Amino acid sequence: MRTLMVLVIFVGLLPPPDVGAITAAPQNPKSAKACAICHYRWVDTFFVDGKGSDLVPYQSEKVVATPDMCISCHDGSIMDSRARMTIGFGHKTNTRPPEGMNIPAVFPLDDNGMVQCATCHTAHGVPSGAGEDTTIFMRISNKDSAMCWMCHPGKNGGEPSRNHTVGSVKTRIPSKMLQLSTAAGQKPTRIACETCHTAHGSMHEAYLNRSSRNSSLCQACHYDKGLITPEGQRNPGHVVNVRPTTASIPGSFLEKGARTGERGEIICTTCHKVHGSPTGTDLLIMVDDNQSTLCLNCHADKRAVAETGHNMSQSAPQSKNLQGQSVADAGVCSACHLPHKPARKHSGSADFTTQMCMSCHGAGTLAAREKLFGHSHPLDVNPFTKKDDDLLLTSAQADPNRMSLPLFTAY
Burial, 400: exposed, middle or buried (Cβ in 10 Å; 0-12, 13-18, 19+)? exposed
The predicted structure's pLDDT at residue 330: 93
Residues with Cβ within 8 Å of residue 99, at least 6 apart in sequence = none
In the chain, the N- to C-terminal Cα span, in Å, equals 114
**Which element (helix H / strand E) includes 168?**
strand 167-168
The rounded distance, in Å, linking the Cα atoms of 352 and 354 is 6
Closest C-alpha among 239, 278, 287 to residue 256: 278
The predicted structure's pLDDT at residue 396: 38
Closest C-alpha among 274, 272, 324, 318 to residue 294: 272
The predicted structure's pLDDT at residue 218: 92
When comparing pLDDT for 200 and 391, which is higher?
200
The predicted structure's pLDDT at residue 126: 67
The predicted structure's pLDDT at residue 28: 43
The rounded distance, in Å, linking the Cα atoms of 196 and 206 is 10
The rounded distance, in Å, linking the Cα atoms of 121 and 108 is 10
395 pLDDT higher than 90 = no
Closest C-alpha among 328, 294, 298 to residue 313: 328
The rounded distance, in Å, linking the Cα atoms of 114 and 138 is 18
Asked whether 292 and 311 are in contact (CB, 8 A), the reply is no
**69-98 per-residue burial string, b: 16 or more CB within 10 A, e: under 16:** bbeeebeeeeeebeebbeeebbbebeeebe
Most confident region among 6-20, 35-49, 107-121 by mean pLDDT: 107-121
The predicted structure's pLDDT at residue 105: 93
The predicted structure's pLDDT at residue 389: 44
When comparing pLDDT for 266 and 145, which is higher?
266
Q: Is the pTM of this model over 0.75?
A: no
Model confidence over 119-165: pLDDT tens digits?
Answer: 998 888 766 555 555 667 888 888 888 889 999 998 988 888 999 98
Confidence label for 11 from pLDDT (cuts 50, 70 and 90) = very low
- Average pLDDT estimate for 198-227: 89
When comparing pLDDT for 11 and 159, which is higher?
159
Supply angle C-alpha 117, 92, 109, rounded to 5.
50
